Chain A
């Protein structure tokens, strides 16, 4: 029992009567600050939409005023054509079927279809919107995305010393990469996919070999 303050019960745990029930398999983590927080770190590839998450979606259909996007969840998400920066009823965004869009969820729960927008609460796009031509989109597990999104991630710093590249990370496990040439793009894609199972030592060796070439 925590001495003071409230114990935070995080993802993977559920309160049941007087105790806690574990609802996902994984490693139990603990953070001691301010009453303590417990959560379960689990491996997962299937994405479940959560409000506030930034994700990469692929446009599958246009239905009237709304685009249908595949975000890797159980249902396609809907995106209104007015949810872009500077979009009005006369000034529609130029979105075609098959385009890749980076946006965030405003409504996401298990009972309703998720809704996305490409503007934040103040109306600015802040990096969201249609992702441009070229580049490479691929899928990794959700744990790797969380690792890459941590501040001062070593993998991204080491890769940026190799070649300059553009990177978009979606919380639904999708990554979009674009470098100067196709070969450089594919090398970065292969390293990011392999990072899931490589140790830091193996990764440094692989990068040293590549930068030597």
Chain B
């Protein structure tokens, strides 16, 4: 590879006869232009034309969109809502975690007023949730678990052992055999790994 040289968005890099467009570039009128402000990277391939791409120092952060399923970890609970850290968007991990809130009325789809947050989530549970709003001024995403496939996937009991789900609302510890209440997610069989 050749040394990196800086370029700005809109800069014309070369013609399409000399190279192929890679990431961070686009082609117009037979020329390759940069679409990002960053460093030009030229990769020489043996059989085909070299690939020209523009990279930034830090990769662009993947932002959760409305309707995306995210994996998050519960950090604190309250009688009105649960605060979570968003760790994964879909299946890509995030470099810095975002904060989210699951309100009490968004935990379940049915019997919303009888929900107790303490019987649905506990701190340090891993939860699958869906983004319903990009949030308020405190940049807290609003999340919801009001579906069968959403809810707690991994939880530890008070003894510290990972619990096994036994129904949609209970999980059991394999060592102490105590049952604890959680809003359990019904994970599709193709996503389970044994």
Contact = CB atoms under 8 A, between A and B. Distances in A.
Interface string A70-114: 000000000000000000000000000000000000010101110
Given A14-B159, A109-B118, A115 B175 contact: no
A17 interface: yes
Contacts of B178: 15
A190 interface: no
9 contacts: A15-B177, A15-B178, A16-B159, A107-B118, A111-B76, A111-B123, A112-B79, A112-B118, A115-B79
A20 to B, nearest CB: 10
Given A15-B176, A112-B79, A115-B79, 9 more contacts: A14-B176, A15-B178, A16-B175, A107-B79, A109-B118, A111-B118, A111-B122, A112-B78, A112-B118
A111 B159 contact: no
B177 to A, nearest CB: 6
Interface string A9-42: 0000011110000000000000000000000000
Given A14-B159, A16-B159, A112 B77 contact: yes
Interface residues of B, number: 13
Which 9 residue pairs of A and B lie closest in terms of their CB atoms, listed nearest first?
Answer: A15-B176, A111-B123, A111-B77, A111-B122, A16-B175, A112-B77, A17-B175, A109-B118, A112-B118
Interface string B63-98: 000000000000011110000000000000000000
Nearest to A9: B176
B157 to A, nearest CB: 11
A161 B122 CA distance: 51
A74 to B, nearest CB: 14
A149 B118 CA distance: 31
Interface string B110-124: 000000011000110
A9 to B, nearest CB: 9
Interface in A135-150: none
